[in-house]
């Protein structure tokens, strides 16, 4: 059975899902769709393109999430995504941070569905890559479905057939981005209703999922599920995904093997690009989550006093700490 990667994905998360994080996640799940951090059009058009777009070939399938609201700029960035070999381009219409609002993109774009439609059309005209949109179910404390229904209707008419729906409103004033992930109530039933209203579209649900049983339940209602912070903090949650949700197993994940693969990666990044292991190790601190000795293991990999040691030496210390040998 051919099951699309979008059936299960790891959310784009600022400061977290960089290329090192994605390489780590790919050691655990081979078939889940991974997303970059949000990259603004300005950063690509006026900044260091390789720094933002470089990735390891093992990260496929991989989507680039863009932040922006100028159709021409987004079109140019979509072409860059295709040139660099990405598998999808996603437009961020869900981030509520003040910094994003000052740039007139993110969640505030939900109030401008025609502008989003113009952006989608410009990107579709510029590339053959799939163009997807990630958004919320509403703005501020208005719980009417009218806004999100009009948004999806208008944007789908421009050629977008794939929507990732964070099942909370975005409060544009008074809440931090962290509070926006916790305080507005989750309303999964809204996403189910959207799927009933737009059966021809691909609807992926995002928000608050913590267990594989939660994921299984949601997949009976929608086309796909996107998991964010739980996948980051408890990455071994993903160890079941290839077999359970993608129905494909290329190899059985093993924590020891994953840790060794990351040490080898750290050595290679240091040798080829001068990247210190410390900036990579921060993403894998949840590898032994819930296992005996996990806290002691994390303490070693988080010890800045060891920055000048080789990753292999640090791993040996971490292993000894985890099993209680030091």
What residues act catalytically? 95
Identify the H or E element spanning 28: helix 19-28
- Indicate left, alpha or beta for 235 from its phi (over 0: left) and psi (-120 to 50: alpha): alpha
CA–CA dist 299, 303 (Å, integer): 6
| Of 147, 150, 154, nearest in space to 169 by CA | 147
**Cβ within 8 Å of residue 326, ≥6 positions away:** 317, 320
CA–CA dist 241, 32 (Å, integer): 8
CA–CA dist 79, 77 (Å, integer): 5
What are the respective helix, strand and coil percentages of the chain, to the nearest 5? 50, 15, 35
CA–CA dist 244, 150 (Å, integer): 35
Q: Supply the DSSP string of 137-154, one letter for each residue.
A: EEETT---SHHHHHHHHH
Q: Is residue 32 within 8 Å of residue 241, measured between CB atoms? A: yes
CA–CA dist 203, 223 (Å, integer): 5
| Of 91, 87, 128, nearest in space to 5 by CA | 87
């Amino acid at each position: 059975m051919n099951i699309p990667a979008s059936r299960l994905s790891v959310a784009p998360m600022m400061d977290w899902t960089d290329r090192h994080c994605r390489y780590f996640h790919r050691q655990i799940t081979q078939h889940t769709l991974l997303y970059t951090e949000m990259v603004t059009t300005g950063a690509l058009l006026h900044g260091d393109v390789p720094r933002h777009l470089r990735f390891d070939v093992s990260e496929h399938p991989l989507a680039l999430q863009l932040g922006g609201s100028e159709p021409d700029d987004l079109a140019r960035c979509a072409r860059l995504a295709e040139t660099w070999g990405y598998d999808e381009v996603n437009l961020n219409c869900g981030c509520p941070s003040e910094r994003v609002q000052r740039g007139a993109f993110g969640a505030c774009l939900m109030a401008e569905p025609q502008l989003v439609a113009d952006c989608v059309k410009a990107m579709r005209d510029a590339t053959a890559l799939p163009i997807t949109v990630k958004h919320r179910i509403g703005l501020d404390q208005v719980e009417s479905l009218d806004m999100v229904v009009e948004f999806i209707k208008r944007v789908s008419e421009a050629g977008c057939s794939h929507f990732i729906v964070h099942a909370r409103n975005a409060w544009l004033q008074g809440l931090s981005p962290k509070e926006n992930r916790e305080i507005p109530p989750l309303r999964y039933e809204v996403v189910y209703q959207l799927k009933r209203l737009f059966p021809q579209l691909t609807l992926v649900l995002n928000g608050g999922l913590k267990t594989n049983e939660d994921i299984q339940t949601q997949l009976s209602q929608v086309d796909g599920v996107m998991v964010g912070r739980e996948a980051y903090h408890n990455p071994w949650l993903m160890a079941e995904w290839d077999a359970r949700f993608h129905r494909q197993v290329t190899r059985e994940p093993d924590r020891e093997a994953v840790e060794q693969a990351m040490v080898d990666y750290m050595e290679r990044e240091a040798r080829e690009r001068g990247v210190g292991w410390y900036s990579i190790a921060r993403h894998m601190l949840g590898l032994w989550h819930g296992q005996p000795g996990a806290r002691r293991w994390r303490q070693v990999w988080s010890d800045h006093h060891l920055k000048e040691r080789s990753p292999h030496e640090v791993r040996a210390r971490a292993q000894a700490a985890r099993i209680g040998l030091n």
